Amino acid sequence: MSQSSLSILLLGALGLVGIGVGGLVLSRNLYRLVLALAVAETGGNLLLVLAGFRPGAAAPIIEPGRAVAAMVDPVPQAMVLTSIVIGVGVQAFALGLAIRARAAYGSLDMDELRGRMEADIDAEAGAPPAASQHAPAIARLAGQPEAKP
């Protein structure tokens, strides 16, 4: 395989990472966040496999008949196996959380969920709700003292 397509592969891997990370910071939908994470991790795995690849080398599997040819580095492949499974495990857990959050707050919008969460925390602590983003700045800066019952 030519060097140019190696560069293309590198670009592809990093492109996946860029797209995934971009989606991770851009989107506010929990489900979409999980997707973005999956895409970015796929890119990372591709990169890691690339780290062990040599053009013209064979897959690291010995066919009994054939003589042992030059092979690609097997260690990164083993690592990638691990990281793929890890990624799926985290993805499943995140989806479970999203389901619960949706069931509790009836929304998948991160901003809304975050607001509800802050409100719950303050309510449980018995502290007055924090000054909202829309309150005049000076009120936010002044900050409230601790709650006195």
Q: Distances in Å between the alpha carbon of 31 and those of 23, 84, 85, 101?
A: 11, 19, 19, 11
Q: Report CA 128 to chain centroid distance, whole Å.
A: 34
Distance CA 44, CA 66 (A): 33
**Contact, 43 vs 83, CB < 8 A?**
no
> Least distance (Å) from another protein to the CB of residue 20?
7
Using rule CB under 8 A, residue 132 touches another protein: no
- Residue from the set 122, 134, 135, 136 that interacts with another protein by CB under 8 A: 122
**Contact, 113 vs 104, CB < 8 A?**
no
> Least distance (Å) from another protein to the CB of residue 134?
14
> Least distance (Å) from another protein to the CB of residue 136?
14
Using rule CB under 8 A, residue 75 touches another protein: yes
Under rule CB under 8 A, how many of the chain's residues touch another protein? 126
**Contact, 84 vs 45, CB < 8 A?**
yes
Shorter beta-carbon distance to another protein: residue 83 or 134: 83
Using rule CB under 8 A, residue 64 touches another protein: yes
Using rule CB under 8 A, residue 135 touches another protein: no
Please give, one letter per residue, the 3-state secondary structure of 1-23. Answer: CCHHHHHHHHHHHHHHHHHHHHH
> Least distance (Å) from another protein to the CB of residue 6?
5
Shorter beta-carbon distance to another protein: residue 134 or 141: 141
> 8-37: which residues touch another protein (CB under 8 A)?
8-12, 14-37
Using rule CB under 8 A, residue 114 touches another protein: yes
